[in-house]
Amino acid sequence: MKTTDVTARLASFGGAKWDLHLSARQRIGAGADIIEMTIGEPDVPVPSELMQQAITSMQAGRTGYSDGRGEINLRQALAESYSTSRGRSFEPDNFLCFPGTQTALFSVMMGVAQAGDEVLVGDPMYATYEGVVAASGANLVPVPLSPEHGFRMQAADVASRITPRTRALLLTSPHNPTGAILGKADLLELCKLAREHDFWILSDEVYEQLVFEGSEFVSPLSLAEYADRVIAVSSISKSHAAPGFRSGWCVGSKAFCDALLPYSETMLFGNQPFIADMTELAIRDGSSVAAGMSERFSRRAQLLADRLEIETSLQVHRPEAGMFAMINVATTGLNGDDYAWDLLENGVAVMPGSAFSDSLTSWVRVALTISDAEFETALGRIISHAKARIGDAA
């Protein structure tokens, strides 16, 4: 039987990028001694107060159908929180609620781009972005993020890729996989281009609360003069260590949310009321775990960089936020894919950089989310492996 064009467009965006991660999981399940540093699972459980709120709400009968926009109590909490953090006024109708950032971004993309359009995306990029753009029928136009510029998007690189078909620029700040953060000056230049050429700014802000000391997060939503063309997506997955609850949202102008609502209702019809109650508590009380995660991830990234750059010739891009660090493994004589599979045989699983871009063929991404004890053991294995490989390459 024949399937639709969208299945064909997405056929190459399946799970192949995660083959090494899945292989590591299988080997661990069979008893292999492998330290997993592949994906960004928070290193703490869901806070007990959030878990209890979800249970209490279920027991109170908050298990029925939801408001199609998302429960009003949650949207009111989001409006108050964003009004404070972005320095301008938001109302509940500036929000639509979804099961996680991924669903929010997918829906937003379907609302701004279609066949024949172009979407500018920083390259490297999170692994699902290609599929999100392809699902809409639009063409993804990569904008290089170079290590020479700290993996921060440059307005000149964006400007050179704008065409009459450009409909959106997708930003990720803090960035996955590199941990880079765009500053206010960067965002102003990009927003000026968006206004000049009449395209949307889409902002994935899921790592907003995992910013390391000495760095600062700025949202394009705080630039009031560009408010009509900025749409952001986020969730409690990272900030509140609750990825399995799938609770996210988009925020934009009321006109955009009104226009997207029928699509959202056709697909989802709102989020679960008991999860909305849990998320309201998370938003109103703030995160009890984000600061601790930021401190630990920053410290581990610093340790990784210091030790690898002192004891080996591997180079580490020092992240400003998030759950990951990038390692340039070119001096081993292996590309990132071969290095990652070879390191797996030596007891550490990391993600090949090619899962995020062809520009990262000499890089791997390392998760900072394992315990300190495991991290120390993994560092020892990475260093021993590098010394052996660099010796062979020499």
Contact in structure between 259 and 65 (CB atoms under 8 Å): no
Which of 276, 224, 225, 232 lies closest to 250 in space, CA to CA?
232
Q: Where do the CATH 3.40.640.10 domains begin and end in the chain?
A: 48-285
Q: Is CATH 3.90.1150.10 what the domain over 5-45+289-393 is classified as, yes or no?
A: yes
Buried b (16+ CB within 10 A) or exposed e, 340-359: beebbeebbbbbbbbbbbeb
Q: How far is CA 124 from CA 153, 330, 359, 361, in A?
A: 10, 17, 7, 11
Q: Where do the CATH 3.90.1150.10 domains begin and end in the chain?
A: 5-45+289-393
Which residues in the chain come in under a pLDDT of 50? Answer: 394
- Number of other CB atoms surrounding residue 5 within 10 Å: 9
Contact in structure between 211 and 293 (CB atoms under 8 Å): no
Which of 258, 188, 260 lies closest to 218 in space, CA to CA?
188
pLDDT for res 394: 42
Burial of 179 (0-12, 13-18, 19+ CB in 10 A): buried
> Across all residues in the chain, what is the average pLDDT?
95
Q: How far is CA 127 from CA 45, 252, 355, in A?
A: 25, 24, 6
Report pLDDT digits (tens) over 109-166: 999 999 999 999 999 999 899 999 999 999 999 999 999 999 999 999 999 999 999 9
State the architecture of 48-285 in CATH terms.
3-Layer(aba) Sandwich (3.40)
154 Cβ contact list (under 8 Å, min separation 6): none
Contact in structure between 95 and 70 (CB atoms under 8 Å): yes
Contact in structure between 65 and 268 (CB atoms under 8 Å): no
Distance, CA of 381 to CA of 343 (rounded, Å): 8
Report pLDDT digits (tens) over 281-314: 999 999 999 999 999 999 999 999 999 999 999 9
